Copies of this chain bind each other. A is one copy, B any other.
Amino acid sequence: MSNRLTIKDIARLSGVGKSTVSRVLNNEGHVSDNTRERVLEVINQHSFSPSKSARAMRGQSDKVVAIIISRLDSPSENQALRAMLPLFYEQGYDPIVMESQFSSQRVGEHLKVLHQRSVDGIVLFGFTELDVEQLMPWQDKMVVMAREYPGLSSVCYDDAGAVSLLLNKLYEKGQRHISYVGVDAKDATTGKLRSQSYLDFCQQHNLTPAIALGELSYHSGFRLASQVLSPQTDAIVCASDTIALGVTKYLQEQQASNVRVVGIGNNPLLKFLFPKSFSIDLGYEQAGNAAARLLLEQVLRSAAPQQIIIPSKLAD
């Protein structure tokens, strides 16, 4: 079982010293092509690979990063996560994935474990109840997604911009009675930012707002739709595509087929089921990409913390 060869074995088998093998492994110069070849031969023959733990202990990094996601089954976070993985692989970093399930305490537990493993960096998906204090020790090796905290790197979405993009589009099309179904303001981004943007727009354009706030689920959308639907309503903006699905179902039952529903998230299912709807791409993929890049910059080149905002755009 534990018959893993060591650098010493390779040295013996190829008739050189350990250090020469080490040099070959790390592609250092100062080793004759002759011996280099011989050593590589033996290495490949036994498919030897140096122990990461030993390397890590010798002062090098372990080449491990962690990604603390809120919920793996959230389509938005999922997309962002999928986008960062390849970048980490590419740089030889192995990603440990952990779920916080929106529990600040669980984040704390995870951080403790990760400290013990001395991971090189962390991408953390932020959420409302998150206690920022416990993040400070990681300051220079952490990137936070979807929330902005002073002193910490972050990659955020343009929540306000997304909503105004939707509203402008509807306004262009001549809609003047636009309602909004969103998320409670205790959620800072999906909740407060987006609904505030709606209210601002209404004020600017002299529209009468009709707003209802609840949870981030289609059930909530379905339930709240009735509250914002009046005979004149010609469009409903939803804080997310999930909510939009619920709203659309309600409209369908009410035979209100002339109301246009739009959402945020670019969920292809919404477009498929209800072709008249449209949606905003918040840039999850781009965000994942940016986060990975940012973290690697910080870890590899000890770059300074940076805050990035991903621009929203109308989905095709």
Which A residues have a C-beta under 8 Å from some C-beta of B? 4, 49-54, 56-57, 62, 64, 72-73, 75, 78-79, 81-82, 85, 89, 94-99, 112-113, 115-118, 218-219, 222, 245-246, 249, 269, 272-273
Contacts and interface: CB of A to CB of B under 8 A. Distances in A.
A97 B98 CA distance: 9
10 contacts: A4-B118, A49-B115, A49-B116, A52-B62, A54-B57, A72-B72, A85-B99, A94-B96, A218-B269, A249-B273
A303 to B, nearest CB: 14
A115 B62 CA distance: 15
Contacts of A50: 116
Contacts of A99: 82, 85
B51 A57 contact: yes
Shortest 9 CB-CB distances between A and B: which pairs? Answer: A53-B56, A97-B97, A49-B116, A53-B57, A53-B53, A52-B117, A94-B96, A54-B57, A73-B78
Contacts of A112: 49
Nearest to A96: B94
A72 B62 contact: no
Given A53-B53, A53-B117, A246-B272, 16 more contacts: A49-B115, A51-B57, A51-B118, A52-B117, A53-B57, A73-B79, A82-B99, A85-B98, A89-B98, A95-B96, A96-B96, A218-B269, A245-B269, A245-B273, A249-B273, A269-B269
A112 B44 CA distance: 12
A299 to B, nearest CB: 12
Nearest to A268: B218
Contacts of A272: 218-219, 222, 245-246, 249
Q: Which of A53, A54, A73 has the most CB of B within 10 A?
A: A53
A40 B246 CA distance: 54
A73 B82 CA distance: 8
Nearest to A246: B272
A262 to B, nearest CB: 18
A57 B78 CA distance: 34
A47 to B, nearest CB: 8
A156 B142 CA distance: 38
A72 B96 CA distance: 14
A246 to B, nearest CB: 8
A72 B97 CA distance: 12
A222 B269 CA distance: 12
Contacts of A72: 72, 78, 81-82
Given A249-B273, A269-B218, A94 B118 contact: no
Contacts of A219: 272
A249 B272 CA distance: 9
A251 B79 CA distance: 31
> Which of A96, A97, A246, A249 has most B Cβ within 10 Å?
A97
Contacts of A95: 96-98
Contacts of A115: 49
